A and B are shown apart, each in its own frame.
Chain A
């Protein structure tokens, strides 16, 4: 329990101190975005990680939350007395309401069927957004102004830093609430339903009811994230409830690690960084995005949190030194494979755009076949070397992971 208190304290302190260290406007908007995605991803993990429900339509709750919030914001601008600080609750309430309505339909089935149904329901709501442009804003979206309300204690939410602290406060609150939920009987039963619905039923719980409750509650938090997004960007477009957003939150959550509570937060930060920083370096970022996701599914199913957890265990068992040769053996082939893979992708993109490629001072001609052959060859050789190195290193890895009791 003491360790838990320390973790929460460090989390709060980090959220508080971040803007004091990174002051630039870019960093500030990055933090806001990451915080919003973190709430969204945590709410998504209530389904995927804790209840075992894979949803392809989670953006519905996020997008509708954002829409209702921006409408509330415009009502506040028209003279209604609604405090901006509590405005995300409008999003949360609408997320909860739609979670109840749509959750009733979608949770009638579990497993793969739930995934397909959630996709269908998501597409349905997204298609509705084109049918009712008045409410959904159509192509252009709906814009608002978060600093219209009366200032409260001098807070107008005009400057981005005030917005950051609003996001941070809601992030802290909702993280605590979602963590507390995992400790309640409902949270425990959700895990039971995920692992073995039949046995959960024997204990006397209705799996469908548990799934329904979790969908409704995760709709609440997704709506909260959407409400914050509406305040942060001051515009809501149809994209926020599209399949793209649903896919993004799935990527973020899985990349962070679905077996750990904090995983989605890490994933949200990673995805936000990829979206903003990587996108400023290369136009190929969606491609890397997909590849990173595929690699995570195939090789690191535990995600970032799983890797962190594993190394924590190795550290505690003082086994890092014994695991080191594995890394030493794998490092060179993996780095070369990665680098030549990047060169290949960049060459492909430049060849299709017809632009010359400059990588760290090198001038590569994406048109000449010699460059292509060299790149493909080095990639193939590095991949084979990875395989060989892994074959040689595997016994030691198995031995080390057996020592810490990690099945691998």
Chain B
């Protein structure tokens, strides 16, 4: 019981972090049809920027500044790179972001080296928040949950309750009509891409010190985020939300449970679980949980 509750809380924290990444990916995909292969690289950049800013200025300013900086880089990438690649089709865009992921990883190698950087949880958030039976729940995990829930609320409110959100949704469903009404759709695309990468960066700032900040973190998390998006159904934010939580919780449980099936302990199977879920989903329901499009 105790283990189950602790795992559940950890799983929800991890799942919310996954959703911060997959929400940006889903928004960008449903709007521009671009699968941003470099999305996890922006998450990594967010973690490194968060590290630099928190050592120079402080952790709380980093929560704002790092996503802004990464969002600006993302917007520039869209303006000067993706828009050009767009002319030759979706495959070119995907390949462009694939190349970008390689270049970002190399840039991180050059600037910060190949070993992890000491990005730590700030002292004010370090320590246990409450004790559950005998295990403690760290304050920082609660902080992560708070930030992600706040961000999701802001995202939801922004998309459904503001004028900018209205224009974004218009450009999403009827780009030609939105353009005819005088909205600069390419600029909206640039903003959405910048916003999506900023979300990924925010996830990096709060995830980088909870886990490890190292050059391999993008390659480690990127495929999982893709799995989340496929399982949830391409282009569906609700689906991505359910899939993020489900995969976060399942993976955390698999690591913490101590079962073993025929000599194979469950924690060793854990890395494969998300992919197995994806394959099962594809066989049972190819369009994903909430997906509407068949192909």
The residues of A with any CB-CB pair to B shorter than 8 Å are 48, 52, 54, 56, 105, 108-113, 115-117, 119-121, 123-124, 127-128, 130-131, 243, 247, 250, 254, 284, 286-287, 289-291, 293-294, 297-298, 301, 348-349, 352
Contacts and interface: CB of A to CB of B under 8 A. Distances in A.
Interface in B251-295: 264, 268-269, 271-272, 274-276, 278-279, 282-283, 286, 295
Given A290-B106, A293-B102, A117 B282 contact: yes
B177 interface: no
A254 B94 CA distance: 12
Given A116-B227, A352-B111, 13 more contacts: A108-B282, A112-B94, A120-B226, A120-B275, A124-B276, A127-B272, A130-B271, A243-B219, A250-B98, A287-B103, A290-B99, A293-B95, A297-B99
A286 B230 contact: no
A111 B90 contact: yes
B118 interface: no
Contacts of A105: 279, 282-283
Contact of A117 (B106, B110, B111, B278): B278
Interface string B66-91: 00000000000000010011001011
Contact of A289 (B85, B91, B102, B286): B102
Nearest to B104: A290
B96 interface: yes
Contact of A121 (B95, B98, B229, B279): B279
Contact of B230 (A54, A117, A247): A117
Given A109-B295, A111-B90, A113-B234, A121 B96 contact: no
Interface residues on B, range: 35 or more
Nearest to B264: A131
30 contacts: A48-B91, A54-B95, A105-B283, A108-B282, A109-B282, A110-B295, A111-B90, A112-B234, A113-B295, A117-B230, A119-B223, A120-B227, A120-B279, A121-B275, A124-B279, A127-B271, A130-B268, A130-B271, A131-B272, A247-B98, A286-B102, A289-B102, A290-B102, A293-B99, A294-B81, A294-B96, A298-B85, A301-B92, A348-B110, A348-B111
- The dominant DSSP class at the B interface is helix
B113 interface: yes
A212 to B, nearest CB: 14
A291 B106 CA distance: 10
Interface string B213-246: 0000001000100110110001000000000000
> Which 10 residue pairs of A and B lie closest in terms of their CB atoms, listed nearest first?
A124-B275, A290-B102, A290-B103, A294-B99, A287-B106, A293-B99, A123-B223, A127-B271, A116-B226, A127-B272
B33 interface: yes
Contacts of A108: 282-283, 286
B92 A119 contact: no
Contacts of A109: 282, 286, 295
Contact of B110 (A123, A130, A352): A352
B206 interface: no
A123 B228 CA distance: 14
A406 to B, nearest CB: 14
Nearest to B95: A297
A298 B103 contact: no
A293 B29 CA distance: 23
B100 interface: yes
A394 B94 CA distance: 27
B35 interface: yes
B11 to A, nearest CB: 19
Contacts of B275: 120-121, 123-124, 127
A247 B102 contact: yes
A187 to B, nearest CB: 20
Interface in B104-152: 106-107, 110-111, 113
A367 B95 CA distance: 35
Interface in B170-206: none
Q: Among A116, A128, A286, find the residue whose CB has the most chain B CB atoms closer than 10 A.
A: A116
A68 B18 CA distance: 36
Nearest to A244: B219
B221 to A, nearest CB: 11
A113 B234 CA distance: 8
A59 B294 CA distance: 27
Given A254-B95, A298-B96, A286 B106 contact: yes
A56 B275 CA distance: 14
A287 B105 CA distance: 9
Contacts of B103: 287, 290-291, 294
Contacts of B274: 120
B111 A294 contact: no
A366 B231 CA distance: 48
A247 B84 CA distance: 22
A120 B275 CA distance: 6
Contacts of A112: 29, 33, 35, 90, 94, 234
Given A105-B282, A111-B295, A294-B81, A287 B96 contact: no
A283 to B, nearest CB: 10
Contacts of A254: 95
Contacts of A352: 110-111, 113
Contacts of A131: 264, 268-269, 271-272
Q: Among A124, A128, A301, find the residue whose CB has the most chain B CB atoms closer than 10 A.
A: A124
A253 B219 CA distance: 22
Nearest to B84: A298
B110 A297 contact: no
Nearest to B294: A109
Contacts of B96: 294, 297-298
Nearest to A287: B106
A120 B228 CA distance: 10
B202 to A, nearest CB: 23
Contacts of A120: 223, 226-227, 230, 274-275, 278-279
A289 B226 CA distance: 24
A161 B275 CA distance: 42
B94 A128 contact: no
